[in-house]
Chain A
Amino acid sequence: MGVSKGRIDRLGESIREGSLSDDDRLLLADLRRTWRSSEKQLKIELEGRFSQNNFQFYSRLKNLGTIREKLIRSALPLSRIRDIVGLRIVISGGRGLQDSVVSEIVNEVNADRCRVIDRRSKPRSGYRAVHVELIRGAAISEIQVRTQLQHQWANLFESLSKVVGRGIRYGEPPFVGHLSVDAKSSVLELLHHLADLSTDIARVEESGTDTPDVRDRLDIENSVINDLQRGLD
């Protein structure tokens, strides 16, 4: 499908403004077919490459709501948003394996351009993982490579963001106006605990030590977040 960047970016403007015409919707549907094709091809390639490992693979297309949110937050044009096609590999190992998986993707997966974003050394709101941005033709994909602990932590933070707003992912304060006094207090405590856990996960992964304490704490925070979610009505 040959659509100019200009046309894609005009579609982005319509999404940002929340005013999609019928033509915009048709173009979005066409673009999604292209994005889905890139996603599928890359996922098959990665699953094949790492088929001997006991990894979990996921992929998703960014939804309309989160595309809009990103367009508003970043001011980037639609053609430059890098995680519309997102793949995730959850590895069964520590940092050494994570480094070798990233290295294999960078060196072996065919791409016009490739960039590694190491969020272990530069975490965002506590989120740690390694992301590889791949550009193939007009398609930009982002591959998240996570250890189990990083994945568990990210899921907890994601769960909390569903309750108090995705702004916490960008360092904004949690939205707690709809919560009870007790729940508000739980949220603030959770944010502190998750920040500490993120640091501790990095520490144990760097040292390669066993992690029962960290796993227990992840389980505890998971229960607290689940209770918080179940209390929403």
Chain B
Amino acid sequence: MLFIVEYKRSRAMLLSLQQFDEDNDEAALKRLCSAEQTNVDDDIEIVLISAASEESLREGYPHYFVRESVEPDR
């Protein structure tokens, strides 16, 4: 699966988590570019990660999930 994580560093807060099928690269990349273009806050990190599942993502990148402000978008 592909995941786009939006994370606010200074508050260690997950702002959003979007999920795409591994083969849906085009949509994920489009979303990534659009999120970066509209974001004006250097404190917000936007990253595209590929992991086997959301569970695996949470194991591999636990620092994004300590505080979650919204329900992940599935």
Contact = CB atoms under 8 A, between A and B. Distances in A.
Contact of A29 (B11, B29, B59): B29
Interface of A: 25, 28-29, 32-33, 36-37, 39-40, 43, 56-61, 63-66, 88, 90, 151, 155, 158-159, 162-163, 178, 226, 229-230, 232-233
Most-contacted residue by chain A among B10, B13, B37, B50 (CB, 10 A): B50
B60 A58 contact: yes
Contacts of B51: 57-58
A33 B27 CA distance: 11
A32 B29 contact: yes
Contacts, number: 87
Contacts of B30: 29
A3 B7 CA distance: 32
Contacts of A66: 45
Interface of B: 7, 9-13, 22, 25-26, 29-30, 32-33, 36-37, 42, 45-52, 56-57, 59-63, 66-67
Contact of B10 (A28, A59, A232): A232
Contacts of A233: 11
A152 B63 CA distance: 11
B50 A59 contact: yes
Given A36-B25, A63-B47, A64-B36, A162 B63 contact: yes
Given A56-B56, A158-B63, A40 B49 contact: no
A58 B69 CA distance: 24
A90 B50 contact: no
A229 B12 contact: yes
18 contacts: A28-B33, A33-B25, A36-B48, A40-B22, A56-B52, A57-B51, A58-B51, A58-B56, A58-B61, A63-B48, A64-B36, A155-B61, A155-B62, A159-B12, A230-B67, A232-B10, A232-B13, A232-B67
B67 A229 contact: yes
Nearest to B13: A232
B33 A65 contact: no
A159 B62 contact: yes
Given A32-B32, A58-B51, A163 B46 contact: no
A178 B10 contact: yes
B43 to A, nearest CB: 10
